[in-house]
Structure 1
Amino acid sequence: MSEAEELPPGYPHEWEADVVLSDGRVAHVRPIRPDDTEAIHRFHEAQSEQSIYLRFFAPIKRLSDKDVHRFTHVDYADRVALVMYVRDDLVGIGRFDRLTPGGPVAEVAFNVSDHHQGRGIGSVLLEHLADIGREGGVTRFVADVLPQNRKMIGVFRDAGFEVSHEFDDGVIAVSFDIEPTEASRAVRTSREHRSEVRSMRAVLHPESVAVVGVSRRPSTIGRAFFDDIVAGGFTGRVYPVNNAADPGTLINGHPAVASVRDIEGGVDLAVVAVVADEVLGIVDECADAGVKALVVASEGFAETGTEGRALQHELLVRARHYGMRVLGPTSFGLINNDPQTRLNASIASAEHLPEFGSLGLFSQSGGLGIALLASARRRGLGISTFASAGNRVDISGNDLMQYWTEDENTTVVGLYLETMGNPRKFTRIARKLALSKPVIVVKSGTGQHAIPQGHRVRLTHERPETFGQMLRQSGVIRVDNAHQLFDVAQLLVSQPLPRGDRVAVVTNNNALGSLAADAVTARGLRVVHGPVTVSAEALTEEFREVVEHALAQEDVDALVACFIPPVADIDPEVVDAVGAAVAGHEKPCVATFLGMRGVTPGAGVPSYPMPEDAVRALAAAVRYAQWRRRDQGERVRLDGLDRTRAAAVVEAALAREPRGADLTREQVEEVLGAYGIEVWPVVPVHSDAEAVKAYQKLRGSVVLKATSPLLQHQPGRGWVRTGLRHPKAVGAAYRDLEALIDPLGADGIALQRMAPDGVPVEVNSVEDPLFGPVVGFGVAGLPIDLLGDEAHRFPPLTDVDIAELTTSIKAAPLLDGYRGAMPVNQRALHDLVARVSMLADDHPELAHVRLNPVMAHQDGIEVLGASIRVAPAPTRADAERRTLLADV
């Protein structure tokens, strides 16, 4: 249909979403439309008598045209309805109707197809309706449910909301607040996790694979995929598809078919290696064959320009319509080395393919992905699973991390990222994964160089240090390149985590021992044993004894062993001796054996060309172990916040200035006051007489300051007069300040009570289109403006996140009583940061919130100045309702 002509007025496109159901298949949720009429009739006619009775409390065989018209014609405000489709089948309907126009309470109802029960449809619809309701000011849902309708009662109860029930006249009246709770968020993320794990299992554990575009010529991409699957010993069924194949045609000993539709019994996974213009037709054929997932190796999509981007978007729309996941396009494939699967659906030939192991790898770059596999093989690192995302139209590193969280074969994860489509979801999933398995990330493109075409947009406010802070908050190990990724991985897959930062250094070369010890100290670790140097001609047994003795020390947490052979190559007996000594202790060892790199065969000791490489990897493991052992904290939740009050101010401002505006001082105070943040009043004055009059109302000690934006970044020029305690002093200070700023073309002078002595700090937040809210903290003035000494964290925050935010800046000692000063009240400071983080998290329209200066002192905090800019809210990538991110 032509949406421009037929979509009803006010149709909210932003409510449309693709979702993964509990069985791992994809469905589409959207607002109801008048053209859903026939689908609703078919849906109702297919329902059982019992289901109809439970929904309508009456045996209605056919819905009247009047009823269906009322169902499909809504205003998307007081009456809201969503429909869910799987392919062309309507499988679920959810709606709410406000009890009063614009009121906070709405009656909610659902109807799920009998043929699609148990797929989590009702739960997804409830999540989406609750999120839409909250955005529109609804605070509470109510519903009348028959006692025998246990499934619907279960949907409400299991959603994590605090549900109340009342039995009246044979009906259970259910009601609950729809504000997210810790329980409801936990339920949502758990359901999302289980669904996406099942979705990825369908990708990585297929029972049958079809390769579309297999030529009789061995040098083609499609043929390479097919031959590698066969050579890898795939345990399932594999089919070559060639549109020119005749009956009886064999390719590499396997009967070829002309279409995926010709494969009896259907196919789980299809690898598509045809020209770009043919891909959409192949997707249709795969849908008819029941394919669950696609690996699209074809080029010619978003990386080629506007037409390619349009083709890529249509690929995603069509695949999701059919319920399929997509890896690619321009993907170099995927690998699952599990002996029960043995799937090498990639163009990595056998000589580049690592053995089965415990490292999971993800790469956006296809060519680099193959190089990563070759490097892993050279180092003796085994791979559990591997995926090359290419243009990453659908499946991303987030999906793989969900899978690896549950995969028993994977103990360490490595990701090579060029861009990030959903940072908020990444931090949430990575944090959960890192609590049990190390996550190592190489992030390219943090400089100013252009991003590859066809990939997602780089973070608007991204700076390398900010991105690094996001990874550290999530417990992710950040490395600079692929070599360092494997340096860290080979330690983590073969050695236990260090219990602390105390290191022993053992060597047979003084210079090498000194290099190692210096590297340990430079990386913030402590040398507590050694360097112990044996003679260059020492026998293997002597070196083993020294290693054994160092590991036996109670104050040693890890060992750095460096050995250079007196002549020729390294003696394998030395490597085996070190490995045997290490095996008897639960302490990690990194080694430098001349000429060796990787995990030494048999001994399991990771070896590095130089001690600096070894220590860098060890330091990463120490920091990760410290993060994992620490108290992870609890998500901050504060009582007494008035979100509705703050939202009303923001909405009113945007109604007047739809493109965005700076809030007035009164509006700023109203928004912040709704979150329990009091801003000290500032009194603008325009003459010395006004200044004196204002002072007489304030009394006490006051401050007179210039407020022109022109002067904000010119510190040290006397724009502030402090400690004024007499009307004459106030008048004189005004005249002096006015004379100072007039020649500069600046205006604006204000009076304010003088705050207690303390440390001036700044707390701010910025709404990034991809990150969502980013909370910043630093000591106000030169430390931030000149030195960039500002820390960032990404809500939602825990109490531990907030404590680390305020202590991670270089100027943090000022808060602890530097050089005899009184330490500030950390509890009050943390409370303020928590309130700003929750304000920013709740209201994406707050483009920029800045509290500056905030005077932190021993008795509390005083917010002396604040500004807020509002703008139309960007669509956050990780909303309260589950949805698959659309390609960008």
Structure 2
Amino acid sequence: MTDTASRPGADLARWEADVVLRDGSVAHVRPIRPDDADGIRRFHARQSPESIYMRFFAPIKQLSERDVQRFTHVDYVDRVALVATVRGEIIGIARYDKIDATTAEVAFNISDAFQGRGVGSVLLEHLAAIAHELGVGKFVADVLPQNRKMIGVFTEAGYEVEHHYDDGVIAVSFRIEPTEQSQAVRLAREHRAESVSMHSVLFPDSIAVVGASRRSDSIGHQLLHNVLAAGFTGRVHAVNTEALEVLGLESHAKVSDIPDEVDLAVVAVPAEAVLDVVRDCADAGVKALLVASAGFAEVGPEGEQRQRELLRTARDAGMRVIGPNSFGVINSHPAVRLNASLAPELPPPGTFGLFAQSGALGIAVLASAARRNLGVSVFASAGNRVDVSGNDFMQYWIDDADTHAVGLYLESMGNPRKFSRIARALALTKPVIVVKSGISSYGVPPGHRARPTGVPPQAFDAMLRQAGVIRVENIHQLFDVAQLVVHQPLPRGRRVAVVGNSDALGALTAEACVSWGLEVTHGPVSLPSEATAEMFAQTLDAAFADEQVDSVLTCFIPPLVTLDAEVVDAVADAAAQSHKPCLATFLGMRGVTEALSAKEFDEQGRRRAVPAYSMPEDAVRALAAATKYGEWRARDQGQRVAPVGIDRAAAEALVDAVLTQSPEGRALTPEEVTALLAAYGITLWPTVPVATADEAVAAAWHLGYPVVVKSVAPAVRHQPGMGGIRVDLHTAASVREAFAALKDRLAALSANSLVVQKMATPGVSCVVSTTEDPLFGPVVSFSVAGPPTELLGDIGHRIPPLTDVDVSDLISSVRAAPLLHGHRGATPVNRAALADLVARMSVLADELPEVASLVLNPVIAHPGGVDVVGAEAIVAPPPVRKDTDRRALP
């Protein structure tokens, strides 16, 4: 048996992961090592006699040297073992031993102190992923009948478990290939754990402010002052190595000196002192850290190393980290009243959740919310987001009944696949508004961990649309949309009524509606400037009552310097009595005021308010965004595509064979491309290389007329006007003539390598491709071939996994899509066949990260189906995807 340390090239680091447990704390999962012998002995010594008997079926008080040697020395081929650790101590062990090539016996042992916290589920998830990677397809285990917890771990994981009673034990077996149910269970557990971990941050029972100076201009002093001034309902402790008292609180030299359990430590000390504070917090059992200190990865290599040590130290101790360089967190819930931030003034409590990465933007975001009187439920700044990110807070907001809409200002994105998945789940119930200026490496702030990306910005836009996210360009637009979706119902359609007291303002509003894709079906109605509030109310009631109206825009120019309070009341009252959204343009006014709020509460116990905008263009833009979101949320979200006739094992074997021969990767041969596509049910039309006219004629006879003769040189392939192809050849003579002409004409370009291929059915030429991006993972693209792709960049993108609705949206997203639907009297192509091809490509891309790129060009779509006429593929060692089939923190 081979020791792991002696295995040449053993790459076990890819199996290590930090994971969030059911209670929100962090554990580390890794392969077992020979130097874990003492840790195994300590683990066993802490276990109860009952737990030992459940694991070994015998009362083993002490492990023998032989047992310890066998447990800690495995070959990671036929025997695999994982441990979960917290603060360096083993809290769980999982292992399997192969019985045959595809079956392995598994065993688990979870610390008594950590049972019920999801350790067994995490270890099973990771062990199954490794086993699947190494070709094991089935787990078996013998479990004592009284060991209900272990049986529950198996059955609750989403696997179809078979079991029978045999000689005093229950023999359990189950297939471990990922299924829709097992994946759903994994994601649900991830969601619950990460949501709980954020609840621990936002609802601490006790806080310690480390670096709480007596100097009023220091960050530590400001943080402690803000915590106290907000009326935090829990216990507050000051930590200062020099002072005995700060702001009326007894000061402690370090967190471990505090005679109290500390849930959240707010750290504001010089960067070089942070690691000592983190180690002390680990010793004190602190649950989470908020590091406001700067001087980490944003300042250079030394800071990057300090940031890595911060993360590793915190993770090893089971703590989550917000920051470093964080502006802080705010939770306005009356049960906690938490302001652990540098914001001296807070927006009013409300139902809008806010996330901003940088501190400077955090100040701007909170100031904008306060100016508009937009109430905030939770605010968070992740700073360098070494650990906690917007994904974590979105997991929390999915469950938070006090948050009705979410806004995120993102400067970078570390895991777009996970973001897309979580944002979609959140957007199905609550509007998600995102400000993101770009995705290039130039836009990544110093200190943020982000991979480079090779995909165009359009792919990021497509990802947000796919997830139902409302993307805006700046903070101003974020709050324009937020004040609408927080206080008004979502529009049910694009039909708009325009009511006001100015012809010019009404026309401007109507024109803006048309430009944003809204339909003015009522008005513009312009009352005279001297119209009374009663006239205004009657006109508004008529607009709301119109069955051809989904939303109402009211535009009011006050005849005096101040607003007519009666007119404002009329707008608020009319809107409150309707289930249709209402937006108001009062020149010079912006936000949600008390005057525009309903006097009574609705059935959800909320007072609806009419959002006001200073200019009609702002109101219309916000309404258009909310309307598109409402349409997305109301529609059928579709089912995840699962084409039949896929042989994933054959494709994986092909890719593995290529990478074994060429470890750095290479382009596939035509035969290999044909086999790869065939494994996913895609037929590639054969091409026959020919060097002479006689060979061309023979190939034509073999393939069957009509045929084409074309060059395979990159310089002329798919290039209009280059004359690299002759089509619709029906006779041997025409083949000879075409071969001779192309051979002669293209010789000067060194492009006279020719092939013969059967003539495809006339139709619309398309391009379907996939790319494995270091940041986004697999990206599927679709376009109509020729100038739309090559000159206009008219290309649609989506991020797998895709639903059938996603596939349809991708095909329809390109501006040239009308060519597929019978443009100018042509017969529409077979849309179902084209969608099936795109679906198969998406599954291939999702399942085979080794396929660095795959391009089907051309794909001829026609009324009878689709013909894949050309294809090229490159395989390479796969990047490590961040959103994998096992739970892991970045």
Pairwise TM-score range, normalised by the shorter structure: over 0.9
Letter in 1 for 2:725: V
Unpaired runs of 5+ in structure 1?
A: none
Change (3 A) 1:459 1:542: farther
Report the Cα offset of residue 139 of structure 1: 1.9
**1:360 corresponding residue in structure 2:** 353
**Tell me, what secondary structure is at the counterpart of 2:715?**
helix
Preserved contact between residue 765 and residue 774 of structure 1 (Cα < 8 Å): yes
**1:558 corresponding residue in structure 2:** 551
Q: For 1:616 and 1:378, locate their aligned partners in 2 and report how far apart those are by CA, in whole Å.
A: 20
Preserved contact between residue 575 and residue 600 of structure 1 (Cα < 8 Å): no
Preserved contact between residue 438 and residue 457 of structure 2 (Cα < 8 Å): no
Q: For 1:748 and 1:111, locate their aligned partners in 2 and report how far apart those are by CA, in whole Å.
A: 64
**1:34-53 matched pairs, under 5 angstroms:** 34-53=34-53
Does residue 253 in structure 1 map to residue 251 in structure 2?
A: no
> Which one of 301, 308, 311 corresponds to residue 313 of structure 1?
308
Q: For 1:43 and 1:461, locate their aligned partners in 2 and report how far apart those are by CA, in whole Å.
A: 47
Q: For 1:115 and 1:66, locate their aligned partners in 2 and report how far apart those are by CA, in whole Å.
A: 26
Does residue 380 in structure 1 map to residue 385 in structure 2?
A: no
> Which one of 563, 585, 592 corresponds to residue 585 of structure 2?
592
**2:20 corresponding residue in structure 1:** 20
**2:91 corresponding residue in structure 1:** 91
**Tell me, what secondary structure is at the counterpart of 1:159?**
coil
Deviations 1:95-126 (A, max 9, x none): 122223xx222222211112211011111011
Report the Cα offset of residue 426 of structure 1: 0.4
**Tell me, what secondary structure is at the counterpart of 1:599?**
coil
Deviations 1:455-477 (A, max 9, x none): 13265124332211100000000
Deviations 1:721-746 (A, max 9, x none): 11111111111110011111101122
**1:743 corresponding residue in structure 2:** 748
Preserved contact between residue 26 and residue 320 of structure 1 (Cα < 8 Å): yes
**2:466 corresponding residue in structure 1:** 473
Change (3 A) 1:381 1:458: farther
**1:764-779 matched pairs, under 5 angstroms:** 764-779=769-784
Preserved contact between residue 376 and residue 382 of structure 1 (Cα < 8 Å): yes
Q: For 1:721 and 1:462, locate their aligned partners in 2 and report how far apart those are by CA, in whole Å.
A: 34
Unpaired runs of 5+ in structure 2?
A: 597-608
Report the Cα offset of residue 447 of structure 1: 6.1
Report the Cα offset of residue 375 of structure 1: 0.9
Q: For 2:878 and 2:79, locate their aligned partners in 1 and report how far apart those are by CA, in whole Å.
A: 23
**2:865 corresponding residue in structure 1:** 860
Aligned length: 876
**1:135 corresponding residue in structure 2:** 133
Does residue 181 in structure 1 map to residue 179 in structure 2?
A: yes
Report the Cα offset of residue 699 of structure 1: 1.9
**1:571-650 matched pairs, under 5 angstroms:** 571-603=564-596, 604-650=609-655
Change (3 A) 1:355 1:7: farther
Preserved contact between residue 417 and residue 442 of structure 1 (Cα < 8 Å): yes
Deviations 1:684-736 (A, max 9, x none): 11111110111121222111111111213532222111111111111111001
**1:192 corresponding residue in structure 2:** 190
Preserved contact between residue 509 and residue 617 of structure 2 (Cα < 8 Å): yes
Does residue 807 in structure 1 map to residue 812 in structure 2?
A: yes
> Which one of 685, 693, 715 corresponds to residue 688 of structure 1?
693
Does residue 349 in structure 1 map to residue 347 in structure 2?
A: no
**1:278 corresponding residue in structure 2:** 273
**1:420 corresponding residue in structure 2:** 413
**1:693-732 matched pairs, under 5 angstroms:** 693-712=698-717, 714-732=719-737
Report the Cα offset of residue 540 of structure 1: 2.2
**Tell me, what secondary structure is at the counterpart of 1:461?**
coil
**1:396 corresponding residue in structure 2:** 389
> Which one of 814, 817, 822 corresponds to residue 817 of structure 1?
822
Report the Cα offset of residue 8 of structure 1: 8.6
Report the Cα offset of residue 579 of structure 1: 0.6
Deviations 1:806-843 (A, max 9, x none): 11111111111112222111211111111111111111
**Tell me, what secondary structure is at the counterpart of 2:510?**
helix
Determine what percentage of the aligned residue pairs are the same residue. 60
Report the Cα offset of residue 767 of structure 1: 0.5
Does residue 829 in structure 1 map to residue 834 in structure 2?
A: yes
**Tell me, what secondary structure is at the counterpart of 1:824?**
coil
Letter in 2 for 1:815: L
Letter in 2 for 1:849: L
Preserved contact between residue 10 and residue 75 of structure 1 (Cα < 8 Å): no
Report the Cα offset of residue 4 of structure 1: 13
Report the Cα offset of residue 11 of structure 1: 4.5
Letter in 1 for 2:466: Q
Q: For 1:703 and 1:31, locate their aligned partners in 2 and report how far apart those are by CA, in whole Å.
A: 57
Task: Name which of structure 1's ranges 722-731 and 422-431 shifts more when overlaid on structure 2.
Answer: 722-731
Preserved contact between residue 337 and residue 384 of structure 1 (Cα < 8 Å): yes
Report the Cα offset of residue 798 of structure 1: 0.5
> Which one of 104, 122, 125 corresponds to residue 123 of structure 2?
125
Q: For 1:441 and 1:707, locate their aligned partners in 2 and report how far apart those are by CA, in whole Å.
A: 45
Does residue 486 in structure 1 map to residue 487 in structure 2?
A: no
**2:602 corresponding residue in structure 1:** none
**1:264 corresponding residue in structure 2:** 259
Q: For 1:115 and 1:514, locate their aligned partners in 2 and report how far apart those are by CA, in whole Å.
A: 70
Report the Cα offset of residue 612 of structure 1: 0.4
**2:77 corresponding residue in structure 1:** 77
Deviations 1:528-572 (A, max 9, x none): 000000111222222222112111111111011111112212223
Q: For 2:177 and 2:355, locate their aligned partners in 1 and report how far apart those are by CA, in whole Å.
A: 36
Preserved contact between residue 11 and residue 31 of structure 1 (Cα < 8 Å): no
Preserved contact between residue 81 and residue 95 of structure 2 (Cα < 8 Å): yes
Report the Cα offset of residue 9 of structure 1: 6.2
Report the Cα offset of residue 144 of structure 1: 2.2
Q: For 2:8 and 2:145, locate their aligned partners in 1 and report how far apart those are by CA, in whole Å.
A: 37
**Tell me, what secondary structure is at the counterpart of 1:445?**
coil
**2:669 corresponding residue in structure 1:** 664
Does residue 537 in structure 1 map to residue 530 in structure 2?
A: yes
Letter in 1 for 2:303: G
**Tell me, what secondary structure is at the counterpart of 1:788?**
coil
> Which one of 331, 339, 361 corresponds to residue 336 of structure 1?
331
**Tell me, what secondary structure is at the counterpart of 1:549?**
helix
**1:428-467 matched pairs, under 5 angstroms:** 428-446=421-439, 449-457=442-450, 459-467=452-460
Letter in 2 for 1:79: R
Letter in 1 for 2:622: A
Q: For 1:685 and 1:462, locate their aligned partners in 2 and report how far apart those are by CA, in whole Å.
A: 37
Deviations 1:644-690 (A, max 9, x none): 11111111111122112001111111111111111111111111111
Report the Cα offset of residue 301 of structure 1: 0.1
Alpha-carbon RMSD across the aligned residues, in angstroms, is 1.6
Q: For 2:6 and 2:670, locate their aligned partners in 1 and report how far apart those are by CA, in whole Å.
A: 44
**2:218 corresponding residue in structure 1:** 220
Letter in 1 for 2:652: A
Preserved contact between residue 586 and residue 613 of structure 2 (Cα < 8 Å): yes
**Tell me, what secondary structure is at the counterpart of 2:354?**
strand
Preserved contact between residue 11 and residue 76 of structure 1 (Cα < 8 Å): no
Deviations 1:327-382 (A, max 9, x none): 000001000000110010001003xx101100000001111111111110110100
Q: For 1:708 and 1:768, locate their aligned partners in 2 and report how far apart those are by CA, in whole Å.
A: 26
Q: For 1:381 and 1:152, locate their aligned partners in 2 and report how far apart those are by CA, in whole Å.
A: 49
Preserved contact between residue 451 and residue 458 of structure 1 (Cα < 8 Å): no
Q: For 1:884 and 1:452, locate their aligned partners in 2 and report how far apart those are by CA, in whole Å.
A: 21
Report the Cα offset of residue 787 of structure 1: 1.1
Report the Cα offset of residue 257 of structure 1: 1.5
**2:599 corresponding residue in structure 1:** none
Q: For 1:202 and 1:600, locate their aligned partners in 2 and report how far apart those are by CA, in whole Å.
A: 34
Preserved contact between residue 328 and residue 341 of structure 2 (Cα < 8 Å): yes
Preserved contact between residue 419 and residue 458 of structure 1 (Cα < 8 Å): no
Task: Name which of structure 1's ranges 199-208 and 658-667 shifts more when overlaid on structure 2.
Answer: 658-667
**Tell me, what secondary structure is at the counterpart of 1:256?**
strand
Letter in 2 for 1:347: L
Q: For 2:53 and 2:798, locate their aligned partners in 1 and report how far apart those are by CA, in whole Å.
A: 51
Q: For 2:84 and 2:668, locate their aligned partners in 1 and report how far apart those are by CA, in whole Å.
A: 40
Deviations 1:39-76 (A, max 9, x none): 11121222223322222233322222122212211122
Does residue 327 in structure 1 map to residue 322 in structure 2?
A: yes
